[in-house]
């Protein structure tokens, strides 16, 4: 007489095999997902580096630096003494809130990049910027804004996953050390979030590399627009740490400026003011 169905032992064997396969496949799938996010992030940064070079070519060889002459980096993370233009001069917004992300926003304003390019999928809590999210009254077009938010619903740090070489000085009289066409081709230009300025970092073991890539490293785009996934942050000139100004790591979004021409110091706005 033929037996129907599975015995308990056979069922347990099948369950054990499935469990073994899951134990093998799940880490592999997670690793593949992480690698895909890393590659997409690298693509974003490569595009940002390329359009920054184009921006510099069209703006007297200077890389994006918002706020105009006399703008400086405030200790609260807000650009001081700045003037931020909307689409035309009569829409100028003077003395208002703008952060380091407003330098990136110049690429969006002049239709060289899209807000989506500033979002890394591995960055927790990130969203694609829409002008209706942030201002009151909201601007009708991207060209009429001056930063990735700054008010009503979203803060710029929620819409930008990347850090930028600090181009400002500490006051209106200090020019700072912005990148220009005269800078070395291997100068770090942009990267993932500075882990010292990332509110997602709660693990003390992840304090040297970007959180978005599991603390394994960070995508860094250099002035010549090539991108490397660096497993250490000491990739600036002569082994300079891109997460520190001089030898000091920042404690808040408005702390520090490069100490000299060869100090590569990459900063981002934190996720919340």
Give the pLDDT confidence of 148-193 residue by residue, as tens digits: 987 657 889 999 999 999 999 988 888 899 998 889 999 999 999 9
Q: Is 222 helix (H, G, I), strand (E, B) or coil?
A: strand
Contact 221, 191 (CB under 8 A): yes
Banded model confidence at residue 22, pLDDT cuts 50, 70, 90: confident
Give the pLDDT score at 5. 63
Residue 94, pLDDT above cutoff 80 = no
Give the pLDDT score at 89. 45
Give the pLDDT score at 3. 57
Query: What is the arithmetic mean of pLDDT over 143-150?
Result: 83
Q: Is 112 helix (H, G, I), strand (E, B) or coil?
A: coil
Give the pLDDT confidence of 221-240 residue by residue, as tens digits: 999 999 999 999 999 988 99
Contact 256, 175 (CB under 8 A): no
* Burial of residue 69, with CB atoms counted within 10 A of its CB: 0-12 exposed, 13-18 middle, 19 or more buried: exposed
Contact 270, 157 (CB under 8 A): yes
Banded model confidence at residue 98, pLDDT cuts 50, 70, 90: confident
Residue 92, pLDDT above cutoff 80 = no
Give the pLDDT score at 171. 87
In whole angstroms, what is the distance from residue 149 CA to residue 155 CA?
A: 5
Query: What is the arithmetic mean of pLDDT over 129-145?
Result: 75
Banded model confidence at residue 91, pLDDT cuts 50, 70, 90: very low
Q: What's the pTM?
A: 0.85
Give the pLDDT score at 17. 78
Paired tokens of 66 = 């918002």
Q: Is 35 helix (H, G, I), strand (E, B) or coil?
A: helix
In whole angstroms, what is the distance from residue 141 CA to residue 132 CA?
A: 9
Contact 141, 84 (CB under 8 A): no
Query: What is the arithmetic mean of pLDDT over 93-100?
Result: 71
Of all residues in the chain, what percent carry a pLDDT higher than 70? 85
Of residues 136 and 156, more confidence is placed in 156
Give the pLDDT confidence of 65-81 residue by residue, as tens digits: 998 888 888 888 888 88
Banded model confidence at residue 266, pLDDT cuts 50, 70, 90: very high
Residue 41, pLDDT above cutoff 90 = yes
Residue 30, pLDDT above cutoff 80 = no
């Amino acid at each position: 007489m033929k037996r129907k169905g599975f015995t308990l032992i056979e069922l347990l064997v099948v369950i054990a095999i499935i469990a073994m396969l899951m134990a093998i496949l799940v880490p592999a799938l997670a690793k593949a997902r992480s690698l895909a996010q890393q590659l997409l992030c690298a693509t974003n940064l490569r595009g940002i580096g390329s359009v920054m070079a184009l921006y510099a070519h069209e703006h007297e060889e200077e890389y994006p630096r918002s706020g105009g002459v006399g703008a400086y980096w405030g200790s609260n993370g807000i650009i001081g003494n700045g003037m931020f233009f909307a689409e035309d001069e009569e829409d100028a917004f003077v003395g208002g809130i703008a952060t380091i992300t407003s330098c990136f926003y110049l690429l969006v304003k002049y239709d060289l990049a899209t807000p989506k390019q500033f979002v890394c999928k591995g960055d927790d809590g990130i969203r694609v910027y829409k002008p209706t999210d942030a201002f009151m009254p909201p601007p009708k077009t991207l060209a009429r804004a001056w930063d990735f938010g700054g008010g009503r619903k979203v803060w710029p740090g929620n819409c930008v996953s990347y850090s930028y070489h600090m181009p400002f000085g500490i006051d209106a009289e200090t020019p700072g050390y912005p990148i220009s066409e005269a800078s070395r081709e291997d100068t770090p230009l942009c990267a993932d979030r500075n882990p010292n300025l990332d509110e997602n970092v709660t693990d003390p073991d992840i304090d040297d590399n970007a959180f978005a890539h599991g603390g394994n490293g960070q995508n860094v785009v250099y002035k010549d627009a090539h991108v490397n996934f660096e497993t250490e942050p000491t990739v600036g000139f002569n082994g300079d740490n891109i997460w520190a100004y001089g030898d000091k790591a920042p404690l808040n979004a408005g702390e520090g400026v490069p100490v000299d021409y060869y100090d590569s110091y990459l900063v981002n706005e934190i996720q919340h003011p």
